[in-house]
A = this chain, B = another copy of it.
Amino acid sequence: MNNTKDSRQLREMMRLLERKLGILEESEVACCGITMAQCHALVEVGRAKNISLNELAELLNLKNSTMSRTVNNLVNSELVKRDIDPQDRRYITISLTESGTKIYEGIEESMNLYYKRVYDWIPEDKRGQVMESLQILLEAISKNECCK
């Protein structure tokens, strides 16, 4: 059947997509003077406004020990701050500093501009289809999570 051929083609396109997105992100973080891992953390903190270390680690699929050290480095660079939760001192609350917010907003802006350019490039009569297709693909991937 043709499904094998098509599914391999699907895989190949996904590989290329991932490759290109990786390159995009690397050029993005090069401008900020932080590392990729720090950038991922900073963006998630920016989006959440306040977040625990545990939650951040979960979002980024990292161990708490790794997360703790990445956050340490961001604190040292004065991009984020750590506060102890007054209600439960086991918890820390991570949030962006003013300079961290600037970097975060810069990343958001340039990524939004980039995706606007990508979107605008898509032929108008194909846009709905592309958006729907991505939705379907995300759902297909979600429903087939690694149950090896």
Contact = CB atoms under 8 A, between A and B. Distances in A.
B16 A138 contact: yes
For the side of the interface on A, what is the size category?
Answer: 35 or more
A138 B18 CA distance: 10
Contacts of A35: none
Contact of A11 (B20, B111, B126): B111
A65 interface: no
Contacts of A18: 18, 21
Task: Give this chain's copy count.
Answer: 2
Nearest to A127: B6
Interface of A: 3-4, 6-11, 13-14, 16-24, 26-28, 31, 61, 110-112, 114-123, 126-127, 129-138, 140-146, 148
Given A6-B119, A117-B144, A126-B133, 14 more contacts: A7-B112, A7-B120, A11-B111, A17-B17, A17-B137, A17-B141, A20-B141, A21-B141, A22-B61, A23-B146, A28-B146, A118-B141, A129-B133, A130-B137
